[in-house]
């Protein structure tokens, strides 16, 4: 494993042009490109396909899915059909994780999000944590 394979670069931009420019610039130095919710919603699945065409690096869909299990399962099935996707995030809720894992293909790993970094102590207390 090369050092670059351990690097995940967040494509925290909103346009496909910005994302593709970063992919072109960093392709030889990054193992995985992260596509967050803003970029994905602004550009749809097409941005995943465009990035996959430009790089051999992996793709991390950081969508933090949180819905009823059947909906998460369907979303994971569709996301797994996108070329290059290696990781997808879901919120850490047992039934959601079970649905996500059952729908994931062998090449896609499901990552569970426990606590968002934007939450502070008062937020966690309000949630009963």
- Tell me if residue 109 is catalytic: no
What string of H, E and C letters represents the secondary structure of 90-105? EECCHHHHHHHHHHCC
CA distances (Å), origin 64, targets 31, 56, 82, 103:
21, 24, 17, 16
Q: Give backbone dihedrals phi and psi of 124, rounded to 5 degrees, phi first.
A: -65, -40
Catalytic residue among 34, 46, 64, 83: 64
Give catalytic residue positions. 64
């Amino acid at each position: 494993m090369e050092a670059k394979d351990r690097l995940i670069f967040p494509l925290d931009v909103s346009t496909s042009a910005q994302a593709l420019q970063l992919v072109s610039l960093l392709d030889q130095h990054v193992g995985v490109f992260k596509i967050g919710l803003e970029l994905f919603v602004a550009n749809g699945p097409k941005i995943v396909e465009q990035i996959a065409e430009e790089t051999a690096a992996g793709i991390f869909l950081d969508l933090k899915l949180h819905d009823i299990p059947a909906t998460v399962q369907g979303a994971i099935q569709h996301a797994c059909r996108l070329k290059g996707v290696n990781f997808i995030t879901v919120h850490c809720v047992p039934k959601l994780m079970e649905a996500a894992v059952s729908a994931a293909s062998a090449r896609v790993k499901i990552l569970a999000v426990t606590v968002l970094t934007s939450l502070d102590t008062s937020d966690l207390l309000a949630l009963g944590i």
